[in-house]
Every structure is written in structure tokens, then in C-alpha cells.
Chains A and B, each alone.
Chain A
Amino acid sequence: MRYMVGVDVGGTFTDITMIDSVTGNVNNHKLPSTPEDPSIAIMKGIEELLALHNVPNDQVTYLAHGTTVATNAIIERKGAKTALIVTKGFKDLLEIGRQTRPSLYDLFKEKPEPVISGDIRYEVEERLYANGSVRTPINKDQLKEIVTDIKRRGITSIAVCFLFSFKNIMHEKIALEEIGRLYPSAYVSASHEIVPEFREYPRLSTTVMNAYLGPVMKKYMENFRSSVKKSNIPVEPYITQSNGGIISIQESVINPIKTALSGPAAGVVAASYIAELTKYNNLITFDMGGTSADFSLIENGNPKISMEREIEGFPARVPMLDIHTYGAGGGSIAWLDDGGALKVGPESAGAIPGPVAYGRGGTLPTVTDANVVLGRLNPNGILNGKMDLDVNASKKAIKEHICDKTNLSLIEAASGILSVVNANMARGVRLISVEKGYSPSEFALVSFGGGGGLHCGSLAKELNISTVIVPPSPGTFSSMGLLVTDIKSDYVRTELLEPKEQNLNVIIEHFKEMMLEGTTLLEAENIEEDKRNFICTIDIRFKGQNYELSVPIHINELNNRDIDFIVERFHVAHEKTYGYSNKLAKVEFVNYRLTACGNLPKVPLNKGNKGEGEIVISKSKREVYFSEVEEPGYYETDIFQRSELVTGDKINGPAIVDQLDSTILILPNQQAIVDPYQNLIIKVNGEVKPDGKQY
């Protein structure tokens, strides 16, 4: 292993990070994305980065990339034409879903249109009882007609989902065989293979999206793989999944749905690596870009996982990092509503036309314009001076759209915009912390993305968070995550069972089966035995309730017949999550989950130079307005270049740290220090105390 390369493809930019595994040196590169074929920018960027550092292509030993192909295919409705085969009587279930309307008060709010329209949803005679036994055998003649018709219509992908197939896979198997025989070139997803889980609608929805994405993903991956080969990069690339782990291309083609929300996952993985390095084990991640801010929570170094996430309004029952997106970014537009309140977002000026200051045609005042007016962004331009800022245009826009309609001064309006957006984001953090039973004050905030640095200090203050961590390259932090992750594959079985001794063998059997599948996968991924790791959980509920809690278990507990420990753990989890537990009530096991992990080696980061551990003196200063302090006003503010800071350097606020892809604001009375990994650690409530753990 010499050079490891991670590529994160975003809507606007493609970011590439390379680590030299011998020296631990990290290099980054950024270039515009090529949405029509993302692999163009990826390959161009890799070539450029390698050339820049004189690395021969054949020295690359690891390549991982996060792709938005699946996400975009769903958003833009560019998946494959897909047919659906379902149990007779249920062809419209996909469209009915949970039978709720999407908005309580918006009479015109549309429900997302299903990706398979009613004319290509086929019903076949077949029916199982709830216990899995057959009531109506599958009508094979009808099945043949259906498959023949699908083929005749030139539909390239097929989803199959029958009621109770998680209990008995026979009918879905027969359908697969029939498709394989009559239409072998079709891409097929059957629900018992994708998510063999209880509850028909989420299983159906997940299966359908998988089939819809399959052919698109397959085509993209074939392109990508051959481009990698052509460039003489001698590796099989990995793909990021929504669970934060990576997987081979083959697997991602079978289960494309598992990559569908992988976009922001890599950043969270990078943050959990930071947690490991810095020993700040409890983190709230804050990734602010142009249009939105993503938040997630890391407890004891582990990012929270959710099974309940939706993609464009469709449920997807695959484990994903629990990331919440809030409509607050640098491009969020400030406006006055009819009742006279100052609002910020959710409309965003995005990259184009963008904030007024960028001079790309934007006319409405944004959060970035407020930062410009208050002197927080370098008036001489950002991106190392590559992009000019039109301060006067920002002022004019705020004056015209806010001040002229209120009695606010320019400064009041600009700092008001920031107060509102920070309050909005604080609400976003409360959603993932307070509302889930966590207190934000017990967490450190990891701030990244282009806009994080300008807001992290105020946001932390608002939430009583005492420490903020800003990684060395906040703008390319996500691609870093691709270099510090593991191979992960999730499996599930459903069987509703009481936690009784006589059911143990059945449960053990389920786990054995999944472990076998996981082992096969890890073998195929060339993971040595001692690097394999299996995480087992059981989804448990009180009988009669319709929601479960995932309880971690150890397989030995089953072998040792220690079922009571597992039930006890459920009670503890229920108490923590819901504030009570009832030990007299009957509990029920629902789903059995296994995650197969293949641990990949992590390169230790280069610790960089070490300074004197003293307050550094800035080379320049400028006036910046702060309303976040007791006495609002202009403060003479030190300006630093991030590239000139070394480990141990201390900075007293008010200060600004500029770097290529980000600007970091340190408020008056806050202090920052550069840690051994080049992270900037901001102490929100003042002085950095010497911390034995870190130095």
C-alpha cells in the first residue's frame, strides 16, 4: 500500500484526497463536477492530483469513491424503466403507501409520483398465509404471460414483491426462475433478497427503487471501472454506501439502493475518525454548504444509524447513517414575510445565481452577503483571491430588501440575518440531540463544509457546546472519510418470536445463515480472517406495539442461552429512548440484523510541524462586526492563514483564519489551538486548558 485515493463527488465540485501511507502526508484537489458522467471529473482529477505530486499511476493501491449516481437517478427520475410484479389485489399499494397526505395544510402539495406507473404494475395470482403457508399457489401460466409481456415492451428491469415473502421465499423464487428463463438479460430485484423484512410497503418501496437504479448503476460502474483500468491504476475501486462503509463495485450493482444516500456519509465517517484521534468521542457533525446544512450525532465514536430514512419521499429500509438536512446554507435567502418577520431560507440562491457578492447575477441578499457586509469574509476575495467579492452589491441588496422595509440599520439587518440562520441551525441540532435524549452540551461540534467555519463558533455558543473542532481541510473533509472507512455489508431476517429458550435455535440459525453470507462476501473482498468483524443486533418491541428498538447482542449470548440479558438490554434501551419500560409486558423479537465488517488499515495522519505552543501574532488585521457578544460592535480582528499555523499555535478571538476552501471565525473571548493533527480546536468559552489526553 502506498497511495490511497478517496474521491467525493458533489453536485458542484469533485473533491479528491490522497494519503501517502508511508509518510502520512495528505494532499487535496478540487475540480468542477461533470454531472452528465461523473467519472470524467473523477478520472481527470485523479490524474491531475497524481501528476501534481509526481506519483506514478501504478502506485495507487486503494481507490474509493462516493457516488451520487443513484441519488440523482431518483431525484431526476432517470432510473431504468421498471416493471413490478405483485400479489393479486395489490398493484396500487406502491402508490397508496401509508395513505397519508404529504402536508397537513398545503392543499396543493403533491405526493411523489411512484417510479413505476400503474400500467406496468402486474398482479399475479398467489397468496401466502401470515405463517408462510400457501393459500393460493402461484399461477405459473399467468407469470409466463406477464414476463413475456414485460420483455415484449422492452422494459429492462423488474421488481418482484409478494406478501409474506419474508416468511416463505418460494413464490418469489419461482418468479425469479421464470424471469431468468424467459428474459435472462433483465435486471431483477426480489424483495426477499433486497430486504427480507416484515411490513409490505417499506419492503416493496425499497425493492422497487433498487430495481429502478440497478441498470443505471451497472452502466455507470462499467464505465468507471474501465476508465480506471485505462489509466493503469491497478486497483478495484470501492463505492461508499449510505451506512458509511464501502463495498466493491459488484456488490453496489446488486444493491444500488444501499448507495442512495451516501453523499453526506463520508463526512460523518471522517468525523468519527477524528473522534478516534482526538479522543473527543461524542461529536455533533455540522456540514454547511451553499444550500443546506447536514447534522449527525456520533456517540462513543459510532455514528447513529437509522432504518427509517426516506429518499425523495420513498421509504428505504436499509441501514443508513442518521443524517438530518436543514435548509440553511451560505446561499439561503433572507426575506421579510407578510407579517413583518425576518426569515432566512429555505429558498437558496445556490451556486447560480449565488450570493449577490459573487457577482454571478444574484440580486437577493443571502447569508453569505451578511457575512460579507460584517467583514467576516475577506473583502479582497475568497479562494485565495480567485473570486472577488462585491461588498457594495451585498450592502445594496440588504438595504433594498430588508432595511428599506423595516427600521433596521444595515448592520442590524446583516447581523440579524446571521442570528436567524444560527437560531434555525440550532433547532436542527436540537432535533438530532435533545429530541433523541442527548444534551448538546455533552458533545463537541465538528465543523466542515465550505460554510461551517463562519458559523460554528456562534452555533456552539447558542447550544452551550464548549468545544469546536475544525479539521485541516474542511472543504474536502468528506473525501478524507473515504480513506478511513471499512467494508460493510448489512443483512436482515424477520421472524416474530417470543424470547423463549425453544426459539433460540431458530434465531441462531438466522444469524448463522447471515454470517455465512457475510463471510462469503468478505472472502470475495479479500479480507483476511482476523480483520473480519460481525455486529449482530435484534430489533425488539413490546408485543402489540408497531415499532422496534435495535438491541446489540453477542452471538455467544444465544449459544449460552442468555436470552434474559438481551431482553434486559431492551428494557434499558426503551427506558433511555422513551423514558419508561414495563418489565411485566411481553416482548417480541422481530428482525435479526448482522453487519459484516472488513477492517481496512488506517494510515496515521502526518502530525506536521510543532510550534512553540504560544499565542501567534497575526500579520494583518481588519474590522469585523460582532453581535454575538455582550457589547456588539466592530472589533479589530486578527487575520491568519491556516497554511501558516502549526501544532500548538494558539489564537485569541476575535480572529479569522482564512484558508483556500473555508473561513473560520473565532469570536471575541473564544480561543483556538492547533492540535497535533492540524485540527483547529476552538474553546467556545475562552481559554484552552492544557489537556493531558491530547498532548
Chain B
Amino acid sequence: MENNISPITLEIMGNLILSVAEEMGVTLVKTAYSTNIKERKDASTAVFDMKGRMIAQAEHVPMHLGSMLSVVTEVLKKFPISSIKEGDMFITNDPYTGGGTHLPDITMVEPVFYNGEITAFVANIAHHSDIGGKVPGSTSSDANSIFQEGIRIPLVKICKNGSIVNETMEFILNNTRTPEERKGDLYAQISCNKAGTKRMRDVINKYGKYKFSTYTDGLINYAENLMRMGIKKLPDGEYSFEDYLDDDGVELNKPVPIKVNIIIENNRAIVDFTGTSPQVKGPLNLVLSGTLTTVFYCFKALAGQSIFSNEGIYRAIEVVAPDNSIVNCSPPAPVGVRIDAAQRIADVVFGALAKAAPDRVIAACNSSVTSAIFSGVNPETDKYFVYLETIAGGSGAHKNNDGLSGVQVHMTNTSNLPIEALEREYPIMVESYNFAPDSGGPGLYRGGLGLKRQFRMLGDNLLFTGLGERHVFSPWGIAGGKNGSSGSFWLKRANSEIKKLNSKISDIELDKEDQITIFTPGAGGYGNPLFRDVEKVFQDVKEGKVSVASARDDYGVILTDDVKEVDSEATTRVRDERCS
């Protein structure tokens, strides 16, 4: 710790600045209009220093962790600092110039003036539910260029002298299917920054400009130190791993490799994606900031969740992402569904680090954002509807315990829509929402289970679009644990056989009583399943999480014919045989 930095002020000022970001988040969520921001909290807020370095961020979804990292420096690149006036506010959504990682995420930045000088910046990012493009919601599974994904807002002013620039506002609103809702959300983003600048002025006033800037440097160093301490706990060495996306949504049945080589060298890490697929035709590409975001998520999870999300944590990690690859794409590559690629990056980073420290990571997760989108006309109301549900899956097992079942993992954490809410709104009935038996990878600790969700149509002429991943490449286990099951989509028409569907499929026509069944992927196990506590295996069988056959074949646990007891003798015999 530097001599001029007091551990007390560091702690108090750090928490104070973080609380500014958090209160900005509260203002944004509170004043937002759309359910996406208000309820799913798909928005994040941050405070930057005068040089444009992020000091503190309050992120609600990990996908936003690094999304705003370069936005203030982009502002300063385009607008000389002397030209920026009090009351100016900037807006952008262009992933190719610092504005988030896909077009629906709109970022706004405002300078904080103190005694007539810029002393800090505040910014926020929010996911808008429609920003134009070829499909409602802007995120299409088969877009082949960013121009199909909505309006690209360059870095421009949304406010001047404290008033909204109407030309900018109108231009945006004219390019969305839901202008009223957008307007409400954009206003919320403006109020959020205004609340942030006001509180930041109080903070700077409390400490004075000099002390403030000393401690913002201190806070960045502080986060860097914590991150480096975390990396230092990993054994030095070179670790690599490779996994695949099933396909890119456009070129079906063509696996997309994601490869990483991680070098841990004392207290720094180099994360190199050389060998990863070139950018793809479908919308699974990540701009560099999206890749950085994901890598930082992984290291934050490893090094300590309480570390400030600021510039400092990024200094300890060097990311190498080849140009024009799926992890560093160039325009006009489409990026709408980039989160599925991000999920796979998280898995490969943990996969590589499992070789360094298997007790610090978890096995592969369902690592997809399985989405089911139904649309059509509700016969009861005669109104057109779009209903989107993201369905969770398994989370990887680890050194302490089984993986979590039926949860969102890594880069996302959105909740489900209550069944009693959706059935009232849409002509759809949910017939089952349970764990999928045997979907958790066998292990000393079992991988989390995927879900089985079954929909039945109660109206005619409805459309189903499914976005799935890990339907081909199942989630792997670590430390001797086995793979979890992959996911799948199934169609059962009222009078015909059940049929398997592709992992990315658009506009399947459905009629009354047709059923769509979705199995989401489970997750990998940890450790040798033959060492799993027999009672735990038996309990899993009793709960329907593991079948009698899997108990026997994967775990070497033999049950009596009536399935009421464990056949201890046979179990010991089988386990001994297989272990030797």
C-alpha cells in the first residue's frame, strides 16, 4: 500500500463511490419503463475518473462487466476535453466503437463538473427490448450482418446544456418498433446519469479534488492488487483447453471451435485465444470488449467476488484475441446472440484453469441461454403476442458439492416468468417444469441437472423459434467427473410421432394441442463417480434425479429389485471390481 493512501479512507471512499454507482442503478431500474430493465434488471452503472478509467461499477448482469470499459476514452477521442461542456451527455450503442457488445445495449455517458472542470464521468448501459432490425426484439438467430440487427447509434450527444437534443432522440425513436417504451427507458438513463453526477459532486466536495484523484488512483491499484493476489494463488504454468459451439445458426451442423491458452506467471495472466474460429456468418460473434468481459468475469469469480469492477482488475490480465475471429470480430459481423459464445468462453477458461487448480473452478455448465420464443394471435384477445422464455440448466459440480440444478450460469442470471402469469397472457400451457433425470454429469459430486419444460399450444397458427446450445457438445466433467447430458428440442404434433428439432430453429408452425418439449443441458460432474457416497446416489434415485440404470452403470450402486434398499454387498463388489 502506498504511503499516502490510508486504509480507512480507501475503504470508506471506495464504498461511497460504489454506492453512487449502486444508487444510479436504483434510479435507472426505478424510473425505467420496460420490464426488461425494471424487472430483469438488464442494466448496469459505473463511475469513471477524469482520464476515463473506470473506478467502480454496479453490474446486475456479468455480461455488462467490461461493456463500458472503453466508452469514456472513446468519448474523449472523439470530443476534445476542452469542447465538452457541463450538461452534455453522450449516447452510443455501436459495439464497434466502444458502445456495449450488441445493439440493444445503449450506453450513456455524462461528465461530472466540479468548479468548472471535469473531475469524473458517470455512465450507464441498459438493454432495450427493441432497437429495430429484422425481427421484433432485434436479436435474430440467423442475422448475417449487424445491419440486420437494428439501428447503429454512433457516439453522439443526447443532451446539450442540460437539455435533450431532440434530433438525436427522434432519430432513435423513429427506428424502433416500440418508441413510447424506448422514450421512457432513454429518459430513465438520462435521470440515472443526472443522479450520478449530483452525488459524485457531493463526494468530490467532501474529499476535495486532489484527495479524490489520489484515492481514485488508489482504488484502481487496490483492485489490481486484489486481482494479482488472486492470480498468484494459481500455480504458474501454461494451460490450454478447447470446446465447441454446436453451430453459428446460419451454417448448421458446422461446429465452431473456441480455444484458449492461459499462462499464469506469478501474479499475472495471459489469456490467448489463438486457434479460435474466425468470425462466423451467424450472430454469435463477440467484439473484443465482450471477450474481455467474459475473461474478467472468470477471473473475478476466481480471485474474489468483492473486488471492485474497475480498470485495475484488467491490468493484471492480458487478453490476446486474434483479429477477425469470433472473439474479436470486425464490422459488419452480426453480434446479436454473442452471449452464447461468451458462455462457451467462460467454460473454456475454467476448463483450462481446471488443469491448474481443479479445486478453484467448477465443471462445464449448461452454458447456453436456451430461449423459446412463441408468437401468434391469441384467440381470446385477438391480439398479436410474442412470448420469450429463457430456460436454465445445470451448473458444474466442484470440490465441495454437487452443481446447482436448474439455474442460469456465468454471463446471465435472469428469472423465469411465473406459469400462472404466462398462461393468462398467452394461448400456451406449461405441462411440465421439472429436472431432467440423469442430466447431471456423474461424479463424486454430481453435475447440476438440466430442466425439462413442456409447452402445449392452446391456439392455432402459432410460431415457435428455439435458440439452444450444447445440443451436440455436452458439458464436460473435471477431476474424473463425467459429462452432463446435452440439450434438445422436440416437437410432438397432435396426431403424429415425436420429432427432434435443430438447436437453432426458426418459425415452426404449431396448432392447438401440439407440444414442444425442451431439455436444457445439465452440467459436468466432479471427481470419480465410483467414490460418490452410496446414500447420496440412493437419495438421487429416490428423488428421480438419477435412474436405477445410471446408479448401476455410472456409480456402481446396485439397488434391490424393489428399489427400496441398496444392495450393499453387490455395490461393494461392483465398485471394487471397477476401481481395480
Contacts and interface: CB of A to CB of B under 8 A. Distances in A.
Interface of A: 88-93, 95-96, 98-101, 103-108, 110-111, 117-119, 127, 129-130, 135, 163-164, 166, 198-201, 336-343, 406-408, 412, 416, 419-420, 423-424, 427, 430, 434-435, 496, 544-547, 577-580, 582
B233 to A, nearest CB: 10
Given A199-B420, A496-B424, A89 B542 contact: no
A408 B23 CA distance: 32
Interface string B96-112: 00000000000000000
B interface, how many residues as a size bin? 35 or more
B301 A106 contact: yes
Contacts of B301: 105-107
Nearest to A165: B420
A107 B10 CA distance: 27
Given A200-B419, A423-B15, A92 B222 contact: no
Interface in B397-447: 398, 400-401, 404-409, 413-421, 423-424, 429-435
Interface in B37-59: 38-39, 59
Contacts of A127: 429
B26 interface: yes
Contacts of B305: 103-106
A427 B11 CA distance: 13
Given A164-B420, A547-B38, A119 B539 contact: yes
Q: Is the interface of A mostly helix, strand, loop or mixed?
A: loop
Contacts of B557: none
Contact of A89 (B30, B414, B432): B432
B408 A430 contact: no
Given A108-B400, A427-B15, A547-B38, A341 B30 contact: no
Contact of B543 (A99, A100, A117, A544): A117
Contacts of B421: 198-199, 546
B297 interface: yes
Interface in B377-415: 391-392, 395, 398, 400-401, 404-409, 413-415
Contact of B413 (A96, A101, A198, A339): A101
Contact of B408 (A101, A408, A423, A580): A101
A89 B7 contact: no
Interface stretch (B68-76, B223-231, B572-580): B223-231
B300 A105 contact: yes
Contact of B404 (A101, A200, A339, A416): A101
Contacts of B11: 341-343, 420, 423
22 contacts: A99-B391, A99-B415, A100-B413, A104-B61, A105-B297, A106-B305, A119-B539, A130-B423, A199-B421, A338-B225, A338-B304, A339-B222, A339-B223, A340-B7, A340-B10, A340-B225, A406-B7, A423-B12, A423-B15, A430-B23, A544-B35, A546-B421
Contact of A99 (B38, B400, B416, B432): B416
B548 to A, nearest CB: 14
Interface of B: 1, 3, 5-8, 10-12, 14-16, 19, 23, 26-27, 30-31, 33, 35, 38-39, 59, 61-62, 184, 187-188, 191, 222-223, 225-226, 229, 297, 300-301, 304-305, 307, 361-362, 391-392, 395, 398, 400-401, 404-409, 413-421, 423-424, 429-435, 451, 454, 539, 542-545
B362 A339 contact: no
Contact of A424 (B10, B15, B433, B543): B15
A640 B280 CA distance: 77
A577 B542 contact: no
**In the A-B complex, the 10 residue pairs with the closest CB atoms:** A118-B543, A105-B305, A89-B432, A416-B8, A340-B1, A119-B542, A99-B392, A98-B415, A579-B31, A342-B7
A546 B408 contact: no
A547 to B, nearest CB: 6
Contacts of A200: 418-420
Nearest to B224: A339
A100 B420 contact: no
